[in-house]
C-alpha cells in the first residue's frame, strides 16, 4: 500500500494531492478557508497522514488540504515558500537538518502547547527523538538541547529553547534479516561447526561480519556467488553518509566536537571507514555493485533474496516469489568498549512546524496536535508509520503481524540510542564532503586517513564560511 502511494505522489510536483472544503471554525476560519499542509510523500508516511487529515475534517468540519512532494522537490518548495514569506501553507513538514536554515521563518509552538489541554502529553513522545527534532534555540540553532528522559517544557524554556515542531515520523538505521535462513537447521549446524557458537542475532560488528561471511555463497553451485551476507548503502549519496555516520558512532567517533570543529578524521573515524570498506573490498560480503547502492537499491537487493541481511532506515520485505522466506529485524550492532557495548545508529525525524506567515496559526497548531496525538498515532500503526510516541510503541506490541510487531520493537529501542545529525546550516555541504571522502577510499583513489583528513580540512573551511 505504501508503495502505491509513493508512485502516485511522486508526480505531485504541482502540490496536488488531497483537497476538501471547509466550514466555519468558531469564527477563526471562513467558510471557504482550508488549512493547508506542505508534506512529503512515502518517506514521511504520507498515506497515514492524508487519512488522518480526512478524519480530522470529518470530526471537526474544518477543511484540510495536504500537498505532497518527493523529498528533493519538497525541500526546494519549503525553502522557496518561506523565503518569499508566503502564507500559502499553514503547516510544513520539516526534516531535522532543514531547521537551522528555516527556523527564523517558523512560529514557536511553546505558547500554543502551554495553552492546549494536551500539554501533559508531551511526556509521551520519545524524549531523545523529540529533543533532536523539535527543540531548538532560535538564535543559536546549533546548540544541543538538554538531555532528559521525559520532556519537561519548563526546563526547555528555562534553558533558552523553544519547541518548533511536533514529531510525526521517525527514521533510524536498523537491520532486516532472513529469519528463515537463520532458523534453518543445516545453516545452524554449519555455522556452529565453523565459528564455534550458535547462529543468532549479532550484537557486535565482528559477529555481524562473521554471519555475513557465512551467508555469502554460491547457492546454485554454478561457480558464481549469488547470495551475499549483507547489503550496504555505499553509493555517493546521503544514504552513504548515513552508513558511514553510523559506523563512526559505534566506533566511538563523532562528526564534530562541542565547538563544531570536525573530528571525524580521528582514529575512530579512520577505523570506522576501514572497517566499512573491508566488508566491501576485502571480505566481499556485499553485492558487487554495492558502490551504487542507496536505500532503494538495498531494498531491491534484499527483497529479491540477494542478501541475508540488509541495513536501511525502514523495514524491508521479500518478493512474493521467495516462498518460505521470513523477515526479522534487529538493532544495528555495536562495538565493545571495555564492558560497554557502544551503539549509534543514525536517526532523524520529520516534524510538523507552523509557518510564521500563516494567517491561521492557532488552528494550524490544533491540527498538528491532532496529527501527532496518541490516539491518531496508534491508528498510524496499520499504515506501518514510524510513530514517535511511547504509547504507540506500546500499542504495537499487540499488532497481529509477527514481523511488523518485531520491527516496531526494534525501531523503538533503536530510537532510544540513535545519533542525530549535526545542527548546522550547511549540513548538505558537510554531508557531500564526507560522501566524497568515503567514495575516494572505496574506489582506491586515497587511503582512509588521507581521504578523511582532506575532507575534515574542507569541512573546517566550510564551517568558517558559514560563520561557525
Tens of pLDDT, residues 44-62: 899 999 999 999 999 999 9
Average pLDDT, the chain: 92
Q: Residues 182-232: pLDDT tens digits?
A: 999 999 999 999 999 999 999 999 999 999 999 999 998 999 999 999 999
To which residue does cell 548515513 refer?
242
Task: Name the least confident of 6-15, 41-50, 204-213, 338-347.
Answer: 6-15
| Residue 315 binned pLDDT confidence (cut-offs 50, 70, 90) | very high
| Residue 323 binned pLDDT confidence (cut-offs 50, 70, 90) | confident
Residues 113, 119 contacting (CB under 8 angstroms): yes
DSSP 362-399: HHHHHHHHHHTSHHHHHHHGGGT----BHHHHHHHTT-
Region 396-403: mean pLDDT is 94
| Residue 30 binned pLDDT confidence (cut-offs 50, 70, 90) | low
Comparison of pLDDT for 444 and 23, the residue scoring more: 444
Q: Residues 85-99: pLDDT tens digits?
A: 999 999 999 999 999
Task: Name the least confident of 112-121, 291-300, 308-317, 335-344.
Answer: 112-121
Candidates 21, 101, 17, 100; CA nearest to 57 is: 21
Comparison of pLDDT for 431 and 4, the residue scoring more: 431
Looking at the chain, the whole-number percentage of residues with pLDDT higher than 70 is 92
Residue 117 has what pLDDT?
A: 62
Burial group, residue 177, by CB count within 10 angstroms (0-12, 13-18, 19+): buried
Q: Is the pLDDT of residue 2 over 80?
A: no
Q: Name the pTM for this structure.
A: 0.90
Residue 43 has what pLDDT?
A: 86
| Residue 357 binned pLDDT confidence (cut-offs 50, 70, 90) | very high
Comparison of pLDDT for 199 and 29, the residue scoring more: 199
Angle at the Cα of 285 from the Cα atoms of 204 and 265, rounded to 5 degrees = 60
| Residue 127 binned pLDDT confidence (cut-offs 50, 70, 90) | very high
Region 286-303: mean pLDDT is 96
Candidates 306, 272, 276; CA nearest to 289 is: 306
Residues 6+ apart with CB under 8 A from 57: 20, 22, 63, 64
Q: Residues 226-253: pLDDT tens digits?
A: 999 999 999 999 999 999 999 999 999 9
Residue 13 has what pLDDT?
A: 38
Q: Is the pLDDT of residue 463 over 90?
A: yes
Residue 32 has what pLDDT?
A: 65
Residue 27 has what pLDDT?
A: 37
| Residue 5 binned pLDDT confidence (cut-offs 50, 70, 90) | very low
What's the CATH fold of domain 2-170+349-415? D-Maltodextrin-Binding Protein; domain 2 (3.40.190)
Residue 120 has what pLDDT?
A: 58
Residue 57 has what pLDDT?
A: 95
To which residue does cell 496529527 refer?
371
Domain 174-342: top CATH class: alpha beta
Residue 145 has what pLDDT?
A: 92
Residues 434, 455 contacting (CB under 8 angstroms): yes
Residue 118 has what pLDDT?
A: 57
Contacts 24+ apart (CB under 8 A), 110-114: 110/153, 110/156, 110/157, 110/162, 110/163, 112/354, 112/361, 112/362, 112/365, 112/369, 113/153, 113/163, 113/365, 114/153
Tell me if 2-170+349-415 shares its fold with 174-342: yes
| Residue 119 binned pLDDT confidence (cut-offs 50, 70, 90) | low
Q: Is the pLDDT of residue 433 over 70?
A: yes
Residue 24 has what pLDDT?
A: 39
What are residue 189's phi and psi, to 5 degrees? -70, -40
Residue 33 has what pLDDT?
A: 78
Q: Residues 139-157: pLDDT tens digits?
A: 999 999 989 999 999 999 9
Q: Is the pLDDT of residue 292 over 90?
A: yes
d(CA 67, CA 38) in angstroms, rounded, equals: 5
Q: Residues 360-394: pLDDT tens digits?
A: 999 999 999 999 999 999 999 999 999 999 999 99
Q: Delimit the domains of the chain by residue range.
A: 2-170+349-415, 174-342
Region 345-363: mean pLDDT is 96
Amino acid at each position: 500500500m505504501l508503495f502505491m502511494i509513493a508512485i502516485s505522489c511522486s508526480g505531485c510536483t504541482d502540490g496536488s494531492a488531497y483537497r476538501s472544503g471547509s466550514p466555519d471554525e468558531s469564527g477563526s476560519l471562513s467558510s471557504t478557508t482550508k488549512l493547508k499542509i506542505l508534506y512529503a510523500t512515502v518517506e514521511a508516511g504520507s498515506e497515514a497522514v492524508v487519512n488522518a487529515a480526512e478524519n480530522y475534517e470529518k470530526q471537526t468540519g474544518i477543511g484540510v488540504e495536504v500537498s505532497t512532494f518527493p523529498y528533493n522537490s519538497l525541500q526546494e518548495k519549503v525553502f522557496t515558500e518561506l523565503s518569499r514569506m508566503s502564507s500559502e501553507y499553514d503547516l510544513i513538514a520539516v526534516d531535522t537538518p532543514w531547521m537551522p536554515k528555516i527556523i527564523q521563518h517558523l512560529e514557536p509552538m511553546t505558547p500554543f502547547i502551554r495553552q492546549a489541554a494536551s500539554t501533559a502529553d508531551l511526556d509521551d513522545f520519545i524524549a531523545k527523538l523529540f529533543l533532536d527534532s523539535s527543540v531548538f534555540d532560535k538564535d543559536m540553532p546549533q546548540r544541543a538541547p538538554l538531555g532528559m528522559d521525559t520532556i519537561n517544557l519548563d526546563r526547555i524554556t528555562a534553558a533558552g529553547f523553544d519547541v518548533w515542531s511536533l514529531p510525526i515520523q521517525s527514521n533510524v538505521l536498523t537491520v532486516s534479516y532472513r529469519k528463515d535462513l537463520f532458523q534453518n537447521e543445516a545453516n545452524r549446524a554449519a555455522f556452529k561447526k565453523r565459528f564455534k557458537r550458535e547462529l543468532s542475532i549479532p550484537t557486535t560488528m565482528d559477529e555481524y561480519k562473521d554471519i555475513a561471511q557465512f551467508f555469502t555463497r554460491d547457492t546454485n553451485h554454478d561457480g558464481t556467488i549469488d547470495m551475499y551476507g549483507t547489503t550496504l548503502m555505499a553509493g555517493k549519496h546521503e544514504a552513504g553518509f548515513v552508513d558511514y555516520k553510523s559506523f563512526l558512532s559505534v566506533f566511538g567517533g563523532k562528526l564534530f566536537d562541542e565547538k563544531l570543529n570536525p573530528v571525524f578524521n580521528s582514529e575512530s573515524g579512520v577505523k570506522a571507514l576501514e572497517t566499512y570498506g573491508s566488508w566491501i573490498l576485502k571480505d566481499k560480503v556485499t553485492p558487487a555493485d554495492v558502490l551504487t547502492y542507496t536505500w532503494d537499491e538495498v531494498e531491491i537487493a534484499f527483497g529479491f533474496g540477494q542478501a541475508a541481511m540488509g541495513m536501511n532506515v525502514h523495514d524491508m520485505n521479500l518478493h512474493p516469489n521467495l516462498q518460505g522466506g521470513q523477515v526479522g529485524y534487529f538493532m544495528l550492532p555495536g562495538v565493545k568498549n571495555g564492558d560497554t557495548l557502544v551503539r549509534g545508529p543514525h536517526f532523524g525525524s520529520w516534524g510538523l512546524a507552523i509557518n510564521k506567515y500563516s494567517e491561521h496559526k492557532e488552528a494550524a497548531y490544533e491540527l498538528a496536535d491532532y496529527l501527532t496525538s496518541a490516539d491518531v498515532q496508534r491508528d498510524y500503526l496499520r499504515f506501518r508509520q514510524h510513530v514517535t510516541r511511547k504509547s504507540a510503541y506500546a500499542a504495537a506490541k499487540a499488532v497481529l503481524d509477527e514481523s511488523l510487531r518485531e520491527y516496531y520493537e526494534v525501531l523503538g529501542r533503536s530510537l532510544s540510542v540513535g545519533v542525530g545529525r549535526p545542527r548546522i546550516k550547511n549540513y548538505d555541504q558537510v554531508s557531500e564532503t564526507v560522501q566524497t571522502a568515503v567514495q575516494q577510499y572505496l574506489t582506491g583513489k586515497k587511503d582512509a586517513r588521507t581521504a578523511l583528513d582532506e575532507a575534515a580540512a574542507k569541512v573546517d573551511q566550510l564551517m568558517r564560511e558559514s560563520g561557525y
